[in-house]
């Protein structure tokens, strides 16, 4: 018996990630569990990897396209017993489309959990935060149940979060039964002992978690085993995979050499935002991938190209800056026309320096001044970095840009082998970069230049999914 389901919710913050992690660990103890994450998320997948003991993969219909989502899901679920797909935001939240942009009466919503469930025919399990709620759960579920049917979706069951007591749970369950709605499969008690630290991007990346992570995940799994009817969950989510009509897309590479070129991929606590499909695609193209750490390694590996993903260079700025030997090697590699591709945090690392402002707050003790009055003094530290670009990256204290992006290539990076000129990408950053020299852009977004190119170095704030564009 094969089960697969998409764990969704009415909105962000309902407990999808916590439930996903706990269920993955609980079920992975006796089954092969394949994890997925809807949307362009790097953080949650890092937890999935640990909880499920397998690599988690992103699914995003807007970023990847429907066929690619189907191809990835079909390929990665070949040898597993259970597939758990963690949704993104609320069930129907995705890239906004005006009604006039589609001919469908009820349009699909690209990038949404609903769209993923549609094209994969996945049953839905909805997590609802029931703090301060009892009989009203039926009104919430009824709305999502009816709208799900309009989209051809199967809302198969409900899991309640933040349940205060067995009496509270009984009230929730009775309300759903009264209205003949999908069953309540269990709950996560209020004030559960397992906790996960949060920061700007939600959960901290797996590299930065506390040493008790494994213990916390096991505790969470134990709690769920007591409060969720796992047999019923697997029963209502039995899954017969549809036959996807996916055309074969063999890699057509222009790498006509006898020995595979090597690409060095920066991977450590500072640079950890990569779609695993992208790494796999580079290997299929013929690249031999060699991983190195800008934090720890003093020398570059013997490679013909470099790839710097996003991550947290601002957190490790001092340590990155102190590694002068590697910074010099990267600078020389660029000046010698080595191929380099950098996304977001990698773009920051290639700048001349990184500025970070730290706010120190001190409260006055004078009784004549209100206790709420706070004096702020901003201290700025500047860390020298690779100096490939004459530019200064400045870390801000608020989000600078977030969202899907689409545009065209003015010039293509070294590995972009196909003839397609358009691209879909995702942007998310808290920093700004000030250029101190003129550089040509290599992208155009909304008819405006985007990203910069220097010799054979391509860098921007864009995160690309390029696994399906290398044909």
Q: How many distinct helices (H) and strands (E) make up the chain?
A: 13, 26
Backbone angles phi, psi at 311, to 5 degrees: 160, -135
Contacts of 150 (CB under 8 A, 6+ apart): 106
**Residue 425 three-state SS:** strand
Backbone angles phi, psi at 465, to 5 degrees: -105, 110
- Based on the residue annotation, tell me whether 344 is a catalytic residue of this protein: yes
CA atoms within 13 A on the CB side of 81: 12
Burial of 108 (0-12, 13-18, 19+ CB in 10 A): middle
Contacts of 165 (CB under 8 A, 6+ apart): none
Closest CA to 310 of 117, 95, 461, 444: 461
Q: What is the residue-wise DSSP string for 184-196?
A: EEEEEETT-S---
Query: For residue 170, what are the CA distances in angstroms to 95, 132, 160, 441?
Result: 37, 15, 11, 60
Contacts of 295 (CB under 8 A, 6+ apart): 268, 269, 270, 316, 319, 320, 323
Query: Cα-atom radius of gyration of the chain, to the nearest Å?
Result: 24
| Distance in angstroms (rounded) separating the CA atoms of residues 217 and 46 | 13
Q: Which two tokens stand for residue 409?
A: 């290539």
Closest CA to 26 of 237, 289, 169, 230: 230
Q: Of these residues, 38, 130, 344, 386, which one is catalytic?
A: 344
* Residues acting as catalytic residues: 344
């Amino acid at each position: 018996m094969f089960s697969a389901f998409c764990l969704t919710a009415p909105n962000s913050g309902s407990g999808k990630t916590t439930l996903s992690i706990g269920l993955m660990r609980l079920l992975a103890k006796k089954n092969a569990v394949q994890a997925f994450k809807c949307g362009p998320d790097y953080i949650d997948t890092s937890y999935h990897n640990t909880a499920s003991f397998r690599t988690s993969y992103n699914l995003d219909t807007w970023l990847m396209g429907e066929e690619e989502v189907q191809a990835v899901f079909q390929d990665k679920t070949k040898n597993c017993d259970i597939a758990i797909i963690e949704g993104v935001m609320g069930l129907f939240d995705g890239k906004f489309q005006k009604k006039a942009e589609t001919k469908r009466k009820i349009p699909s919503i690209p990038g949404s959990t609903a769209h993923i469930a549609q094209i994969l025919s996945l049953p839905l399990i909805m997590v609802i935060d029931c703090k301060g709620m009892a009989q009203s759960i039926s009104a919430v579920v009824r709305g999502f149940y009816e709208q799900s049917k309009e989209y051809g979706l199967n809302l198969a069951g409900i899991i309640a979060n933040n349940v205060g007591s067995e009496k509270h749970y009984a009230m929730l369950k009775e309300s759903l039964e009264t209205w003949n709605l999908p069953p309540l499969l269990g709950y996560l008690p209020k004030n559960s002992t397992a906790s996960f630290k949060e920061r700007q991007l939600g959960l901290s990346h797996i590299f930065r978690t506390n040493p008790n992570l494994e213990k916390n995940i096991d505790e969470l799994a134990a709690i769920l085993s007591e409060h969720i009817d796992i047999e019923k969950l697997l029963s209502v989510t039995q899954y017969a995979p549809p036959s996807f009509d996916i055309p074969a897309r063999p890699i057509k590479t222009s790498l006509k050499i006898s020995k595979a070129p090597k690409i060095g991929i920066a991977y450590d606590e500072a640079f950890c935002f990569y779609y695993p499909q992208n790494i796999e695609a580079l290997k299929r193209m013929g690249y031999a991938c060699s991983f190195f750490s800008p934090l720890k390694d003093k020398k570059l590996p013997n490679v013909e190209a470099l790839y710097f993903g996003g991550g947290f260079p601002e957190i490790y700025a001092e340590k990155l800056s102190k590694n002068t030997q590697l910074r010099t090697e990267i600078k020389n590699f660029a000046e010698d026309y080595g191929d380099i591709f950098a996304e977001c945090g990698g773009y920051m690392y290639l700048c001349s320096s990184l500025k970070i402002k730290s706010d120190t707050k001190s409260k006055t003790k004078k009784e004549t001044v209100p206790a709420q009055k706070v004096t702020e003094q901003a201290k700025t530290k500047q860390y020298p970095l690779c100096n490939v670009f004459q530019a200064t990256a400045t870390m801000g204290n608020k989000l600078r840009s977030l969202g899907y992006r689409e545009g065209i290539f003015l010039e293509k990076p070294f590995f972009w082998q196909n003839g397609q000129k358009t691209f879909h990408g995702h942007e998310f950053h808290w920093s700004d970069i000030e250029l101190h020299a003129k550089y040509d852009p290599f992208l155009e977004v909304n008819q405006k230049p985007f990203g910069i190119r220097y010799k054979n170095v391509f860098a921007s704030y864009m995160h690309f999914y390029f696994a399906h564009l290398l044909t």
